[in-house]
Chain A
């Protein structure tokens, strides 16, 4: 909304070498490269004057930045929390008397977005990552928060596919409140399958949708009967078969904890040493079925046409 207004300088396309100086603490941060742009702000890899490499998030929406800083501060007090980056600096960049942008720095997380990371991975690897995410989310839930805005852009995976991290704290909401930020595809309200209350089952629904997104590699639009549509999606891909029960349970809010869902997943992804070894032919996501891809392609064309003539 605000982004469309023309500023003399845009914090969304700062070039390498640009120096950001904090007004309150006088630290200098030199931009090395952009890491990504989201709905709230832009994130850059920066070098602080003491040579530390950090990720810096800046936006023209100071309310959102401040709110995210508050969340990061609270998370830092949660014991055993491994979810998300750590907060380092918080400051304002006052370019002149009119243009002032709030920013904060956090630990730089190396890796790729969830979608890219799992593109050529097996379904098994995908769910092993999901299980790891659930483990972290369990800690968060115990501390009284939900993730909220789960989506492929906000979940990063290390290049060796061993570690998964959550980067965007903008959606993290205190339990019992209304979800602060969400993205339609992952939101059970959009799918007419529940409320936007911050509770355990809200996250588990979006994590199941994250898995579906990783498998189909792109989101799909809601149709006439959303719940049935999702069930169909689950049946379309044969590689998903072992996970169907678990996924359905998550989508219908029948898990009471992330831990329970994780345990169910672990039974499938790593049932026993013997079975894993004999399981040499793990179907890869990218090679699931060409027919499926065609259906998807045709489907989106139809949707596009419908949308155009709406």
Chain B
């Protein structure tokens, strides 16, 4: 199997998009390029969990995982979501290989328990050793003001989890909406998330949340870093096209 790099975008937001393309459509296109989109929605106290329906949609079409949390649960959630999405992607890749090896309607879950155990061991081995490129896309609109400190802590914690693995990691942080552009790169590719104190300096006023365009720009950050190829099974032949 082709050992590649796992690529993920982690979107952290507290509101719905209201400008530009539909984020779910963008997310689906990104996924077609072998990149997974995960979404964490931060709830405000007293806010019901049905208030951010869009979040699940973005993650589902992005092949990723979504979770709605209150700020105090963010620490654990950021790393759970990331790891879960990793396992899910790798399980998908292994499943793909199995179908080729066995038959079209075989999957990990239809294997007898003992064989399944062996396959899961392979998935875990991959999760431990593959390289990972993660772009964290943080909503820094005014409503996020009180939450950014927690976001920083959670990102530092994520780096502790990811860097305990054997595989190497690269992280980038982008904020949106930016002062002049849709997104602003606030931390370029780095192997660790630390010293984040000065990372989110400016908060932009409430009103616009261009989630779709921001996702698109985050995607282009990957394309610029042609470090490694994506997983074979994940990419499609069709050329990438964002025109709607």
Q: Name A residues whose Cβ lies closer than 8 Å to a Cβ of B.
A: 1, 4, 24, 62-63, 66-67, 69-70, 73, 90-92, 100, 102, 176-179, 184, 189-190, 195-198, 307-308, 310
**What are the residues of chain A within 8 A of B109 when measuring CB–CB?**
62, 100
What's the minimum C-beta distance from B42 to chain A, rounded to whole angstroms? 11
Of residues 68 through 126 on chain B, the ones whose CB sits less than 8 Å from some CB of chain A are 71-72, 75-76, 80-81, 84, 87, 91, 108-109, 112-114, 116-117, 120-121, 123-124
**What are the residues of chain B within 8 A of A198 when measuring CB–CB?**
164
**CB-nearest residue of chain A to B114:** A90
**CB-nearest residue of chain B to A307:** B72
Do most interface residues of chain A lie in helix, strand or loop, or is the interface mixed?
A: mixed
Q: Are B124 and A67 within 8 A (Cβ)?
A: yes
**CB-nearest residue of chain A to B120:** A66
A15 to B91, CA, bound (A): 32
Q: A177-B166, A307-B72, A310-B150 in contact; A66/B117 too (CB < 8 A)?
A: yes
* Any A CB within 8 A of the CB of B21: no
A1 to B113, CA, bound (A): 24
* Any A CB within 8 A of the CB of B67: yes
Q: Are B164 and A179 within 8 A (Cβ)?
A: yes
Taking a contact as CB atoms closer than 8 A, the residue among A92, A100, A197, A310 that contacts B146 in the complex is A310
**What are the residues of chain A within 8 A of B114 when measuring CB–CB?**
90
* Any A CB within 8 A of the CB of B128: yes
* Any A CB within 8 A of the CB of B173: no
What's the minimum C-beta distance from B203 to chain A, rounded to whole angstroms? 16
**What are the residues of chain A within 8 A of B128 when measuring CB–CB?**
177-178
Q: Are A70 and B117 within 8 A (Cβ)?
A: yes
A176 to B167, CA, bound (A): 12
C-beta contact mask, B166-180 vs A, less than 8 Å → 1, else 0? 100000000000000
Q: Are A189 and B117 within 8 A (Cβ)?
A: no
Q: Are A310 and B71 within 8 A (Cβ)?
A: yes
Taking a contact as CB atoms closer than 8 A, the residue among B72, B76, B80, B163 that contacts A310 in the complex is B72
A184 to B157, CA, bound (A): 11
**What are the residues of chain B within 8 A of A197 when measuring CB–CB?**
164
